[in-house]
Structure 1
Amino acid sequence: MNISVVIPLLNEDESLNELYDWIVRVVQSNRYSYEILFIDDGSTDNSWKVIQELSEKDRHVKGIKFQTNYGKSQALNAGFKIAQGNVVITMDADLQDSPDEIPELYDLITKEGFDLISGWKKKRFDSKIRKNIPSKLFNWAARKTSGLKLHDFNCGLKAYSNEVVKNVDVYGEMHRYIPVLAKNAGFNKIDEKVVQHQARKYGETKFGMDRFINGFLDLITIWFLSKFGKRPMHLFGLLGSLMFAVGFFSAVYIGVMKLLRLFVFHTPTKLITENPWFYIALTTMVIGTLFFLSGFIGELILRSKRDESLYKISKKLHL
């Protein structure tokens, strides 16, 4: 199969028929073999009903419905697991991503040999305050921490080789940083393509300030995972050892100085427990021990397999 189009969605019943017709027109005109995977992330409108109707008239349409809203990352994760196409295209369901970009994205993966092509919405039609400015901040921070020179990490329109989607684990809000996850997994042929961005035709954006905060927290997480995800002891063990050593030698110094004053200089001194620096040294030793144990526990967790499902599927179509 040439192409799998993975479309995560939440309450987009008004746009699904139009999006389907547009995708089919593009892939059929280019004679691609294809499948269209709609991942309903717990919609409360008629989105699933529309997907069922599309599936009944076209066996290329497949669907998954979550029991509730788990998030875009979990929807993409579910789509990636079942995608069969040599090239996997992801796009949003709100008609802001243009299916006309599919042929060029497909050629960049199959003919140019790229692992991942990320769309770059150079000219945007979003609200500058609600989405445009936060996106610029995210992208700047992601470039600095990842080393990838992409302008639009969060663009929903991306193309992947099948090998990439089978080797990245997308969870939390990590859909923003899939290129970084791919790079960490060893896929280095990553580039971007300027794509057309269209104003939202139906409904309202799902973007909120909570995603602004979560995005930065996930950026810190992905930075840590890329640097120390496979060796947490290298960070926590080092910090713990240094802090314990500083606290231990500080405590020794305080004790030695007390003994010198008492037995050599015969100077009356307070009890060692009355010295505030003693408690600072003790606290430093305790924190250092906790850091060291955190690294040790992290190493143990890495050696255990994570089997817990990130989402619950209530319905499937043609799967």
Structure 2
Amino acid sequence: MQENPHTIAAVELQPAGIEISLVVPVFNEEESVGPLIARIREAMAGYEHSWELILVDDGSTDATLLKAREALVLPDLNMAIVELQRNFGQTAAMQAGIDAARGRLIATLDGDLQNDPADIRAMAKALEDRQLDLLVGWRKNRKDGLFLRKIPSWCANALIGRITGVRLHDYGCSLKIYRASIIKQVKLMGEMHRFIPAWVAGVVPSSRIGEMVVTHHPRTLGTSKYGISRTFRVILDLLSVLFFMRYKARPGHFFGSIGLATGALSSLILAYLFVDKFLFGHDIGTRPLLIVGVMLFLSSVQLITTGILSEMIARTYFRDDDTPNYIVRQTFRGP
């Protein structure tokens, strides 16, 4: 069987002297994918360096992929379409695009036309001028609903900045530009794309992460994939980020410290009951405090052993974890 010349595995894409790779995950955006590609071509027209567009179809069930493939015939567009086998979520789709990108710089943006591709060239220049490794877009004049999107976002941004120590106005803006050598050191999992600046701060100083005001457009095509339920997921993800940032390489310290504190409290309780029983002769067999002391002791043992097991798992993870969190069906490239 003859191999399709426009279909290659994403892992086969090799560096090709490209300055910027634009990574755009899309899911059921059949109405906006055509205008999106047109807007990107217009924004990058006349750019003095080479660039490419990596469009990641995250298992769309509509005509998104078909409409995107129509642009492959354009001679002035260096585009690859990475088709995922099913819907893996925005984080996995973004990771697939980053893995496929060949540029020295990588820019990410949403596929719903709310991010403006015209900001990319200015952001690339600002990244170099300010000697940054990551430049995050700030939707200062955000065109979203106040109660469903803006207020939860403001609260989340303040909470994330306080916990992670990376102070930004807008963590949730998908329009970002990275040095490829830096972002490729970060593996995105779950729904952690919102916390990319925090993950990047784990490999570079936070002083090399900045932000820049960008244009934000109201959504006019398609439907939003987000709702108020995302706020609760952000809180859970934030706890995970806090754990991974501080204890990823030493989880035994996290569980062990709690276990030692619990064990110390248990020891105090049991010592008090021992004195009360053998020095003062009081009956302790039916006292709730005895049950509390024993349960705290058992909890301490469990937490410490959990810490030891987590240390073993973490060492295995750092040694053997090369498994991607997505599956590519095929990749299409234009002429």
Question: Which range, TM-score by smaller chain?
Answer: over 0.9
Deviations 1:154-175 (A, max 9, x none): 1011110111221111111111
Map 1:113-128 → 2, pairs under 5 A: 113-128=131-146
**Alpha-carbon distance between aligned partners in 2 of 1:148 and 1:16, rounded to the nearest angstrom:** 33
Return the letter of the residue paired with 2:265. Answer: V
Deviations 1:192-232 (A, max 9, x none): 00001111120111112332211111111111211222222
Return the letter of the residue paired with 1:228. Answer: Y
Number of aligned residues: 312
Which of these residues, 63, 67, 73, is aligned with residue 56 of structure 1?
Answer: 73
Structure 1, unaligned runs of 5 or more? 263-268
Query: Which 4+ runs in 1 deviate beyond 6 A?
Result: none
Map 1:19-58 → 2, pairs under 5 A: 19-58=36-75
Show the counterpart of 1:266.
none
Contact 1:248 1:282 in 2 (8 A): no
Deviation at 1:307, TM superposition (A): 4.5
**Alpha-carbon distance between aligned partners in 2 of 1:56 and 1:124, rounded to the nearest angstrom:** 35
Secondary structure of the structure 1 residue equivalent to 2:41: helix
Show the counterpart of 2:125.
107
Show the counterpart of 1:193.
212
Contact 2:149 2:228 in 1 (8 A): no
Instruction: Please state if 1:149 is matched with 2:164.
Output: no
Whose RCO is larger (CA < 8 A, sep 6+)?
Answer: 2
Instruction: Please state if 1:76 is matched with 2:88.
Output: no
RMSD value over aligned CA atoms? Answer: 1.7
**Alpha-carbon distance between aligned partners in 2 of 1:273 and 1:77, rounded to the nearest angstrom:** 58
Map 1:185-264 → 2, pairs under 5 A: 185-188=203-206, 189-262=208-281
Show the counterpart of 2:191.
173
Deviation at 1:125, TM superposition (A): 1.2
Secondary structure of the structure 2 residue equivalent to 1:208: coil
Show the counterpart of 1:65.
83
Deviation at 1:248, TM superposition (A): 2.6
**Alpha-carbon distance between aligned partners in 2 of 1:99 and 1:83, rounded to the nearest angstrom:** 17
Show the counterpart of 2:285.
273
Map 1:282-297 → 2, pairs under 5 A: 282-297=294-309
Instruction: Please state if 1:314 is matched with 2:324.
Output: no
- Provide the TM-score with structure 1 as the length reference: 0.93
**Alpha-carbon distance between aligned partners in 2 of 1:245 and 1:142, rounded to the nearest angstrom:** 32
Secondary structure of the structure 2 residue equivalent to 1:235: helix
**Alpha-carbon distance between aligned partners in 1 of 2:271 and 2:213, rounded to the nearest angstrom:** 62
**Alpha-carbon distance between aligned partners in 1 of 2:47 and 2:324, rounded to the nearest angstrom:** 37
Show the counterpart of 1:265.
none
**Alpha-carbon distance between aligned partners in 2 of 1:187 and 1:154, rounded to the nearest angstrom:** 20
**Alpha-carbon distance between aligned partners in 2 of 1:162 and 1:100, rounded to the nearest angstrom:** 20
| Higher-Rg member (1/2) | 1
- Provide the TM-score with structure 2 as the length reference: 0.89
Contact 2:251 2:314 in 1 (8 A): no
Return the letter of the residue paired with 2:100. Answer: I
Contact 1:40 1:65 in 2 (8 A): yes
Secondary structure of the structure 1 residue equivalent to 2:264: helix
Deviation at 1:187, TM superposition (A): 4.3
Show the counterpart of 2:7.
none
Which piece of structure 1 moves more, 190-199 or 163-172? 163-172
Share of identical aligned residues, percent? 30
Map 1:91-106 → 2, pairs under 5 A: 91-106=109-124
Contact 1:116 1:190 in 2 (8 A): yes
Which of these residues, 159, 174, 187, is aligned with residue 177 of structure 2?
Answer: 159
**Alpha-carbon distance between aligned partners in 2 of 1:248 and 1:149, rounded to the nearest angstrom:** 42
**Alpha-carbon distance between aligned partners in 1 of 2:104 and 2:173, rounded to the nearest angstrom:** 21
**Alpha-carbon distance between aligned partners in 1 of 2:251 and 2:116, rounded to the nearest angstrom:** 42
Instruction: Please state if 1:4 is matched with 2:17.
Output: no
